């Protein structure tokens, strides 16, 4: 007897560390933390202008995912579909951004400096999602947004502090004179 597939699985990848060598994140499945990720560097702007082949993470956004056979690896793997400027984007194992060419590398354990422990997270994810008719992946650049909000708050508090101390006008005059 064949079991009925569940409707839709929702994956959310929240990127949380951005460097010139790698991007790390946390992957959630149906609202629950599943594993850590590492990707190539996130580059912003028009993808056709900023993409460096083999060294660029896919843009933040929403994507469909399918569990398909990979001729390159000889196994079923998760394939991220319709990524503008990219093809063959898989979710697989590895230990760093050097383990990928734009793909998403997964692990249950994240070390320092964008390193992961090579384990079965990608297989477990693939197997978990095999029971769904549809798989959706949303990628958010979380840390960039938090950093921007934090920066604005700090600037606001700093300006308020200077205003309260009466040095805001003095600082404004000094900057205007410079």
* pLDDT tens-digit readout, 135-176: 999 999 985 444 456 655 666 666 566 566 665 556 556 556
| Whether pLDDT at 34 is above 50 | yes
Instruction: Look at 92 and 50; give whichever has higher pLDDT.
Output: 92
Share of the chain above pLDDT 90, in %: 66
Q: Which of 111, 106, 82 is nearest to 27 (CA)?
A: 106
- Cα 14 to Cα 64, 130, 134, 159, 169: the distances in Å are 16, 22, 20, 31, 41
d(CA 82, CA 101) in angstroms, rounded, equals 16
Tally of residues, the chain: 178
Q: Which two three-digit tokens encode residue 39?
A: 């990707």
pLDDT at residue 48, as a whole number:
76
**What pLDDT shows up at residue 146?**
42
* Cα angle for residues 164, 167, 171 (degrees, 5° grid): 135
């Amino acid at each position: 007897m064949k079991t009925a597939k569940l409707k839709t699985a929702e994956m959310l990848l929240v990127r949380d560390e951005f460097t010139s060598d790698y991007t790390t994140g946390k992957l959630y499945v149906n609202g629950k933390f599943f594993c850590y990720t590492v990707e190539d560097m996130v580059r912003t702007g028009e993808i056709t202008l900023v993409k460096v082949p083999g060294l660029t993470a896919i843009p933040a956004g929403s994507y469909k995912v399918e569990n398909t056979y990979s001729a390159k690896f000889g196994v079923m793997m998760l394939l991220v579909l319709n990524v503008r400027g990219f093809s063959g984007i898989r979710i697989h194992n590895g230990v760093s951004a050097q383990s990928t060419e734009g793909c998403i590398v997964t692990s249950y354990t994240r070390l320092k400096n964008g390193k992961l422990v090579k384990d079965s997270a990608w297989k477990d994810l693939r197997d978990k999602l095999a029971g769904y008719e549809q798989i959706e992946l949303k990628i958010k650049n979380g840390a960039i947004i938090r950093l921007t909000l934090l920066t604005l708050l700090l600037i606001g508090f700093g300006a308020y502090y200077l205003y309260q101390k009466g040095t805001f006008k003095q600082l404004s005059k000094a900057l205007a004179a410079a």
